[in-house]
Structure 1
Amino acid sequence: MRFDRSGVRGPTAGRTEFEELYAGHFRGLTLQINAYVGDLAEAQDLVQEAFTRAVARWDRIAKYDDPAAWVRRVAWNLATSRWRRRRVAAAFLLRQREQHVAGPNPDRVALTAALATLPPVLRKAFVLHYIAQLSIAEIAEEEDVAEGTVKSWLHRGRALVAAQLTDPREGN
């Protein structure tokens, strides 16, 4: 048991005990965990986490015969847990199949480019009607406008998109 300078057990006495434990075991424990996980920075993080958990419970852990053994066990458990999570994640990734999807065709690229030129309100109406398959009434309700307004937006949007998609080399 530690005492402060006045000979009375106080809050600084426990802190000193913990600081001594930390100073005496951090490096050695980090080297052990580093040998296990193969990454010094990760080992330092794991050991630091173990000491953080110890300081939060120091009133209880300080009474153990070997508080360093508790910290060591926690660090090893943390390392093993991370290793298991990574192993499960790696196994999951190995089971995933790579899917090759063809790129967009020239018509899709042209339509996307044409839609980008529309004013936002016309583009939204166009997308909601032709891509999301909403009716004119549903769009009017969602946008809080009259159905005639939606019809006007769609008409203007179609005209602008058609002008963008028409090949000027083809004479009308």
Structure 2
Amino acid sequence: MNDWRYVFGQNRATLLAFVSFVVMFTIYTSNHPAGFSANVVQTAANKGVLLALVAMAQTFVVITAGIDLSVGAIFVLCNCLASWIVVGTAWTAALGVAGVLMAGLACGALNGLIVIVGRLQPIVTTIATGAVFFGLALLLRPTPGGDVYGPLADALTGRAFRVLPASLVAL
């Protein structure tokens, strides 16, 4: 019995977060028109994984005592760019994925150069570059749309082993 108290005490915050998630997801699925179905869980997992990837990108900045408010805009820009260049055959889609990753790297490098070489505050720099990146995204996709290479999209947003959302496995 003492061991359970110790384990609970050490993991109290994690358990509270998990319980909060279960309560919120229960409310979400009870209000969803499709109810609690595999498609609802898969869609929620796909959206959650995107946020987790952005959070992981921000984590490295926060660990080094910085802040980057342009992470969301970089994500949107890369998404819009992907809808333009991750198309065609498997080979051109692979080159497109490399291009999207390079674009994200270039955006982060630009932020870093402005902060380090320009000696500007990270919060000001990233707000400004975020606006520029979002504007570039609007130039690429002024209206929603676009498509990416089908097999890649299916592999990353479908189901792995016919059970688990593939996006969670990739995460």
Structure 1 length normalisation: TM-score?
0.30
Greater Rg over alpha carbons, structure: 1
